Amino acid sequence: MTTTNPTRPAADTFGMYTVGAPIADTKAPTTVPIDKMWTTRKFDAKLVNPSNRRKLSVIIVGTGLAGAAAAASLGEAGYNVQVFFYQDSARRAHSIAAQGGINAAKNYNGDGDSVYRLFYDTVKGGDYRARETNVYRLAEVSANIIDQCVAQGVPFAREYGGLLDNRSFGGTQVARTFYAAGQTGQQLLIGAYQALERQVAKGTVTQFKRHEMLELIVVDGRARGIVARNMATGELETHLADTVVLASGGYGNVFFLSTNAMGCNVTATWRAHRKGAYFGNPCYTQIHPTCIPVAGDYQSKLTLMSESLRNDGRIWVPKRAEDCDKDPRQIPEDDRDYYLERIYPAFGNLVPRDIASRQAKNVCDEGRGVGPKVGDFRRGVYLDFAESIQRLGRAAIEEKYGNLFDMYAQITGESPYEVPMRIYPAVHYTMGGLWVDYDLQTSITGLYAAGEANFSDHGANRLGASSLMQCLGDGYFVLPNTIRDYLANGPFPKVAADAPEVTGALAAAQARIDRLMAINGERTVDSFHRELGHIMWEYCGMERTEEGLLKAIGLIRSLREEFWRNVRVLGSADSLNQSLERAGRVADFLELGELMCIDALHRRESCGGHFRAESQTEDGEALRHDDEFLYVAAWEFAGGADGVVGTPVLHKEDLVYKSIELKQRSYK
Amino acid sequence: MNLTLNIWRQDGPNAQGRMVTYQLADVSEHMSFLEMLDVLNEQLVEKGEEPIAFDSDCREGICGMCGLMINGKAHGPEVTTTCQLHMRSFHDGDTITVEPWRATAFPVLRDLVVDRSAFDRIIQSGGFISVNTGAAPEAHSVPVPKPKADRAFESAKCIGCGACVAACPNASAMLFMGAKVTHLGELPQGQPERWARVVKMVSQHDHEGFGGCTNTGACADVCPKEIPLDVINQLNKDLRGSMSKRA
């Protein structure tokens, strides 16, 4: 039911962007049926003789699930791998914080799951804004991921018979989620980390810890290396290779408050974007419905409570605003509004994340939020386990969610066994990222992007338990197969350490650091970051309007101008300096934020996590406009020096659905 | 609340360190300990003083990046990570002493930041199951009895923060190592390398300069993931077992 509103004005670029030539993926073998494409691509991809592999080198940035899995696998295959990460150990990358689980089309429960159904659910969940060929492959490799992880010793939850247990998750009607209590990401990452360390011991992988990528080195049109700063010593280093993989995660920290780790940043992908890599769908961010509400102004981050809690918890607010400050246990059933069960009877509390988030915002905007007031508002809804505890017993709930309940109690001082949890949406994941083709290659030859760093598989909204799947799919199974097709043409001509592209990139990184150190202004880095976060959350968060986005762009521009004039970074650049690290990241967020707003402004439809208030149905649901926006927005950088974003160029990749029928999404 | 903070400052790995005292006013009890340090750092920068360097990343108790000695106790008065410690555990007027992990195997890089690479090298020595990507059998081909799977999971919860080492009077990493040996040793997939693994890991542990275990149990007392002390028994048992089985 896609409608064109005849009264809608024609697209206006507001002078913010220009439209360039369309682009397309050329790597998926679309002449064969979708279920044969990956097999065909793997067969057609050129091979590299085992004895030649050690002569070929790969740089990987990031050691989350995608980066660690790719590094381990490429190391095992015999390539010469160098891996870079900002933490002090590869085991600490933020994949570790994923709680709920990982999807796989194993159909161990015989409840009708299949590769096609996982593919279907993922495309539908993404509101038909993902490329179907990539998503199908993801569903196809999902089962292998579980096999691989079990063989590595990942201690998934098991039944008494010794077989693996599954749970269900939002946006699906089958139980296909494998989990390890509420610490699935940790267990999967430790599996990948151990595989990586095994290769370090074998000498196929070299680790560069406490290293942050600051520039991409492009020679003769190919990605050939990076400039990285050793954060412990302050030294700038250049590293060269035959190919570069960015697995550096998402950019949710542009909002300052998010569920991301403190160090998560966009610098690696943004620097690549500045060198020519297109940025796909930057405005697609996921606001996760089940996070612990903000408690005060000093807050540094938000904590997620796994969405798996929605399996057994019921979400409600009081029917009447005057009940909002009462003890929830004293509010009788009849005075409670289980609004998700009421509005979406088929999916109830398990509607996809974007819908659950927006409805929470709606009830709080109506004045029916709960919990303490921050500013003038109560921003929280109840997630109530009383009924489940009664039905299943406290022990069963404790086994499933014990660590999450403990974490909640630790942070809030309240026990969810006794009092309903309070939750509110928070920025959690970014579906946007570097544009990649079927091979996960970006628009720069020889530069690949994997995991959350690419835009690939989740369209405009990601389903729960799908990010771990995508990261490991990319890292273990996709990249090792596609990257060999590229490396088979190598080794590429040796790049001299004093080549102008190398010294130029090094000088650019050095100049940027020197400039940041020299400003010596009045405001701390965090104060700029916090202000940027407020702008993004207010105008480019759960609900976006043309007016708000235009205002946000103006605010970001003046904030960025002030940043380069008035930021204060103390200490020296040639030692461990956390203010300097943050300043560089915030500088890039200040550029990215503008692009996100421009992308959100240009997409005058609602889809998935991107809700444009001007585009909704009569009953307030998201209204897509497939006639106009059935494409991926891939943005080309057209700016200049640091702080100068210029007028980006929009390249459209039309989305073609041959294997799935395009429908307006409904969970009612 | 108002606090007096004694904090270890050290400009670099080879510099002489010192305790510096700071006063911090109007601390909310809802703040986490690290948010309290964030506030102090903002004030220091505003005054033109260099902020205090400390490690943290996820701030939800799972990445293992943070870790401070707070009033002489690893991760402070509660059994949790430093990032999950909240100021409601302290009182108005308290004096709080904050130091980095102290162990030969964890050299200080700056202020409260230490280098825990030794843990990675212990894992490199054998803390893994050797299975190449793509070589795995079907996941259900090997059932794992639930009690074994559960014990493996309990041990695998280790976050590698290093509190066990910091708390130990001998700076031993036996709890860290025992957790990994138990995690992999409980699973059928971990059996082929079980006996060789423990020998390699213990040898690397000693080489890194960690001390021996004298069973004080200080490690398990502070472990934020409550890894039980009996993983050290398992480690010793497997080490003894390796003598007979390895041949």
What is the model's pLDDT at position A277?
Answer: 98
Can A422 be counted among the known catalytic residues?
no
pLDDT digit string, tens, across residues A553-600: 999 999 999 999 999 999 999 999 999 999 999 999 999 999 999 999
Domain coverage including residue A538: 500-629
Q: Stretch A394-422: mean pLDDT, rounded?
A: 91
The CATH number of whichever domain residue A308 belongs to comes to 3.90.700.10
Does the pLDDT value for residue B4 go beyond 80? yes
In a domain, residue A79? The reply is: no
Q: Which residues of A fall within a CB distance of 8 Å from B153?
A: 155, 157, 180-181, 187
- H or E segment to which residue B96 belongs: strand B95-99
Region for residue A281 given its phi and psi (left: phi exceeds 0; alpha: psi -120 to 50; beta: otherwise):
left
Min distance A657 CA to chain B CA atoms (Å): 30
What are the tokens at B15?
């510099």
What are the tokens at A518?
């020299």
Min distance A317 CA to chain B CA atoms (Å): 24
Does residue A530 sit at the B interface (CB-CB below 8 Å)?
no
Does the pLDDT value for residue A620 go beyond 90? no
Boundaries of every domain in chain B: 3-110, 116-134+141-245
Residues A296 and A410 in one domain: yes
Return all residues near A278 (Cβ < 8 A) that are at least 6 apart: A23, A434, A435, A442, A443, A634, A635, A636, A651
Residues A306 and A407 in one domain: yes
Does residue A2 sit at the B interface (CB-CB below 8 Å)?
no
Between B235 and A182, residue with greater pLDDT? B235
Measured distance CA(B244)–CA(A566) in Å, rounded: 68
CA B146 to chain centre: 27
Record the pTM.
0.96
- Is the separation of the CB atoms in A317 and A249 below 8 Å? no
CB contact under 8 A, B123 and A146: no
- H or E segment to which residue A384 belongs: strand A381-384
Residues A418 and A520 in one domain: no
E-strand ranges in A537-648 read 631-636
Q: Stretch A125-144: mean pLDDT, rounded?
A: 97
What is the model's pLDDT at position A7?
Answer: 53
In a domain, residue A51? The reply is: no
- In this complex, the residue of A296, A410, A578 whose CB is nearest that of residue B84 is A410
Min distance A447 CA to chain B CA atoms (Å): 22
Q: Stretch A259-267: mean pLDDT, rounded?
A: 97
Q: Can you name the CATH fold of B116-134+141-245?
A: Fumarate Reductase Iron-sulfur Protein; Chain B, domain 2 (1.10.1060)
What is the model's pLDDT at position A8?
Answer: 58
β-partners of residue A206 are: A82
Return all residues near A194 (Cβ < 8 A) that are at least 6 apart: A152, A153, B123, B127, B128, B129
Q: Is the peptide bond prior to A282 cis by the omega test (within 30 degrees of 0)?
A: no
CB contact under 8 A, A232 and B136: no
Q: Stretch B134-145: mean pLDDT, rounded?
A: 96
What CATH class does B3-110 carry?
alpha beta
Dihedral sign (CA A656, A661, A663, A667): negative
Sheet of strand A631-636: strand arrangement = A18-19, A649-654, A631-636, A279-280, A433-434
In a domain, residue A239? The reply is: no
Residues A414 and A302 in one domain: yes
Residue of B nearest to A191 (CA): B128
- Is the separation of the CB atoms in A295 and A372 below 8 Å? yes
> Where does a domain end: A597, A614, A629?
A629
- In this complex, the residue of B42, B131, B133 whose CB is nearest that of residue A524 is B42
B247 pLDDT tier (thresholds 50, 70, 90): very low
- If DSSP codes are grouped into helix, strand and coil, which group holds residue A248? coil
What is the model's pLDDT at position A400?
Answer: 83
What is the model's pLDDT at position A11?
Answer: 74
Residue of A nearest to B48 (CA): A570
pLDDT digit string, tens, across residues B92-118: 999 999 999 999 999 999 999 999 999
Q: Stretch B48-52: mean pLDDT, rounded?
A: 96
What is the model's pLDDT at position B153?
Answer: 97
Q: How many CA atoms lie within 13 A of A588 on its CB side?
A: 25
Residues A527 and A622 in one domain: yes
Residues A400 and A509 in one domain: no
Measured distance CA(A186)–CA(A172) in Å, rounded: 24
Entry field: residues in chain A: 668
The CATH number of whichever domain residue A582 belongs to comes to 1.20.58.100
CB contact under 8 A, B129 and A194: yes
Catalytic entry in A137, A222, A353, A585: A353
Average pLDDT, chain A: 94
The interface predicted TM-score (ipTM) is 0.98
In a domain, residue A3? The reply is: no
- Is the separation of the CB atoms in A325 and A411 below 8 Å? no
In a domain, residue A644? The reply is: no
Q: Which of A154, A209, A258, A586 is best to mutate for the B interface (most B CBs within 10 A)? A: A154
CB contact under 8 A, A575 and B11: yes
A10 pLDDT tier (thresholds 50, 70, 90): low
What is the model's pLDDT at position A393?
Answer: 95
β-partners of residue A164 are: A158
